[in-house]
Amino acid sequence: MQIRDLPYSDPGEPDVRSGFRFLVWLFRRQLGGQLKAMLFGGLHMAGIALLPVAAGAAVQAVINESGRDLALVGVGLLAVALLIAGADGALHRAAVTNWITAAARVQQLLARRTAELGGMLTRRVAAGEVVKVSTGDVEKIGWFVESFSRFAGAVVVVVAVCAGLLVYQPELGLVVTLGILAVVLPMLPMMPAATRRADRERAKSGRATELASDTVAGLRVLRGIGGEELFLSRYRRASQEVRTASVHSARMWALIDAVQVVMRGLLLVAVTWQGSRLALSGDITPGELVSVYGAAMFLLFPLRIFQEAAMAFVFSRPSARRAVRVLSLRRDSGGSADPVAGPGPDGAAGGLYDPATGLRAGSGRLTAVVCGDPEAAERLAARLGGHAADGGEEPSAELDGQALDGMPLADARAAVLVQDKDPVLLSGTLRELLDVPSSGRVTDAEALAAAQCSDVLDAVARSAPGGGDPMDARVTERGRSLSGGQRQRLALARSLVTDPPVLVLDEPTSAVDSHTEARIARTVRELRAGRTTVVMTSSPLLLDLADEVVFVHEGTAVASGTHRGLLGDVPAYRAVVTRETDAEQAAADGDTETSARSDRSAPEPAEESV
């Protein structure tokens, strides 16, 4: 896989049983690139390992006053230099390719899971966690994948050099081998502590990112209530906690570095002392001493790669665990591909049925749903869109008897569109905002008119290039330059342009005035004629125009009918819609009963005499 071939046509199905298994899966998916980097890394370090041998041979040639041997050493050094240069360039290319392609694979997996979950993602995982995974974590995971191949190549070369020294000069080779073990082994007991501190730092950093994301998202509201200083102080505390955790983690790595420096220095002292003693006794030549000392110096280079690989593994583990938490979420966790219930009572295609509440929305009808609990209404809207809520404890809805979360994702998305209570507007021109997959039946102008966006067009026209077409005006990220009602109406227009067979709207007019709401209710009903529309609302203006109103109380659809009929027959419905208190409801019920008793006890009129 080359960088120019990105993105992957299929990033694969990851192993999400644990963070470590995910890293192993990622390594196996790039086995070819890893083997290539290991080969070039081995050649690169083998070339560096030959330099001390050449240096020792050159010293011995000078001592022997052999010009021929010195010339041969010079030719050999030239060949080694060319090998090092070529292998180093190829290693860098292969390693960077492994890093970037691994990060790209993880990003594609995250994007795919985000597209599958839709609005349910941030209900299951904090937004800051998702941001952390998709930015910094993918880099650290790629770092580990890239460093592992160089680490494996370094291990092969270190073992080969130590074995060669044991054969070439057993006494010095034994000193070098034991010294290498003395350098590596002290790191092992310190790694768990470094891992724990790195995990703690990552957790606090993720919390700070989440807090910053929430603060930015609610900045307009915070300024309105004067709460920005409160949240700023919270972020400062979180930031200081991150700084403290980072310092603690850095101290552990500084200790590991210090131990490494001390042990490497002791290794060189031991090699120098033992080699000098053997050279003075005549057991080895000066050239051999130079070769062994140079080999010991060379071994310090792969040892630094060992430490880098250890750091990459420590930092990538919490990143992999966070990625697994997101990637392990499933859209079909609570669904089944087999039909669970039959179609709606009208028997027409496009009918929705929610098994959890018993709600039925007839095909081609405008169904309003009244639910006194806002959180229950959000979960109901999610199920109607095919997302199993609460980790699969609640099944998704069924379209004509087919569970939505058991259908192919493309079919489910094409059939049902859910507009959340707080829809997101992406930055770009108004024309780009409305450029969404659609049936083509509803034009942009018709959708904007139905959503009563004339004032929005006037507002954005002022920012259009040269004061021209408002459709060319830019909408800022999340529509922050617009009011809440304007953002809500633009989102409604986008949903109407899509024109799905089934449209679920969660409180689509909560941020507009009553006059605008009444006009939206009429125009949306006309535009969606013949299409199935479900509106989660408690607004009498919308309820009065619905073909059917369903009242969901304590998780169950307990009544259905017209708005006016339910007002008179269902006291709990009336309390939700009219915002009556318990005392007012009891008083109203008491007056109704008193009136009924009075009617029953009133004397019948006397018959007229003939």
Q: Give yes or no for residue 605 having a pLDDT over 70.
A: no
Q: Which pLDDT score is estimated for 154?
A: 80
7-16, 119-128, 130-139, 256-265: least confidently modelled range: 119-128
Q: What is the C-alpha to C-alpha distance for residues 517 and 544, in angstroms, rounded to an integer?
A: 12
Which pTM value belongs to this model?
Answer: 0.59
Query: What CATH class does 352-561 carry?
Result: alpha beta
Q: Which pLDDT score is estimated for 558?
A: 92
**For the segment 344-383, what is each residue's pLDDT rounded down to a tens digit?**
333 334 588 998 899 999 888 999 999 988 888 888 888 8
**For the segment 52-67, what is each residue's pLDDT rounded down to a tens digit?**
778 878 888 888 888 8
Contact predicate 295/52, CB 8 Å: yes
> What percentage of the chain reaches a pLDDT higher than 70?
83
336 sits in the region (left: phi over 0; alpha: psi -120 to 50; else beta) called beta
Q: Which pLDDT score is estimated for 334?
A: 38
Q: Give yes or no for residue 183 having a pLDDT over 80.
A: no
Q: Give yes or no for residue 186 having a pLDDT over 90.
A: no
- State the pLDDT confidence band at 92, using cuts at 50, 70 and 90: confident
Q: Which pLDDT score is estimated for 123?
A: 66
Q: Give yes or no for residue 319 having a pLDDT over 70.
A: yes
Q: What is the C-alpha to C-alpha distance for residues 145 and 273, in angstroms, rounded to an integer?
A: 40
Helix axis angle for 31-64 and 138-168, nearest 10°, is: 40
* Distance linking the first and last C-alpha atoms of the chain: 107
CA angle 227, 229, 232 (to 5 degrees): 115
- Using H for helix, E for strand and C for coil, what is the string for 353-385? EECCCCEEECCCCEEEEEECCHHHHHHHHHHHC
379-383, 477-481, 550-554: least confidently modelled range: 477-481
Q: Which pLDDT score is estimated for 588?
A: 53
Domain ranges, ordered by start, for the chain: 17-327, 352-561
Q: Which pLDDT score is estimated for 344?
A: 37
Average pLDDT of 423-446? 85
Closest alpha carbon to 381 in 543, 489, 537, 576:
537
> What percentage of the chain reaches a pLDDT higher than 90?
11
Beta strands 474-475 and 428-429, pairing class: antiparallel
210-224, 383-397, 481-495, 567-581: least confidently modelled range: 210-224
Q: Which pLDDT score is estimated for 263?
A: 80
- State the pLDDT confidence band at 548, using cuts at 50, 70 and 90: very high
- State the pLDDT confidence band at 342, using cuts at 50, 70 and 90: very low
Calculate the alpha carbon distances from 140 to 103, 108, 110 in Å.
8, 16, 15
| 558 vs 589: which has the higher pLDDT | 558
**CATH topology match: 17-327 vs 352-561:** no
Q: Which pLDDT score is estimated for 346?
A: 37
CATH architecture of the domain with range 17-327 = Up-down Bundle (1.20)
Q: Which pLDDT score is estimated for 502?
A: 92
Q: Which pLDDT score is estimated for 598?
A: 44
Helix axis angle for 187-217 and 286-327, nearest 10°, is: 40
The one-letter amino acid at 584 = E
Contact predicate 592/599, CB 8 Å: no
440 sits in the region (left: phi over 0; alpha: psi -120 to 50; else beta) called left
Give residue for tokens 């002392």.
273
**For the segment 9-49, what is each residue's pLDDT rounded down to a tens digit?**
888 888 888 888 888 888 888 888 888 888 888 888 888 87
Q: Which pLDDT score is estimated for 312?
A: 81
Q: What is the C-alpha to C-alpha distance for residues 50 and 291, in angstroms, rounded to an integer?
A: 9
SS3 content of the chain, % helix, strand, coil (to 5): 70, 10, 25
Q: Mean pLDDT in the chain?
A: 79
CA angle 245, 103, 192 (to 5 degrees): 35
Calculate the alpha carbon distances from 263 to 154, 258, 300, 351 in Å.
19, 9, 10, 74
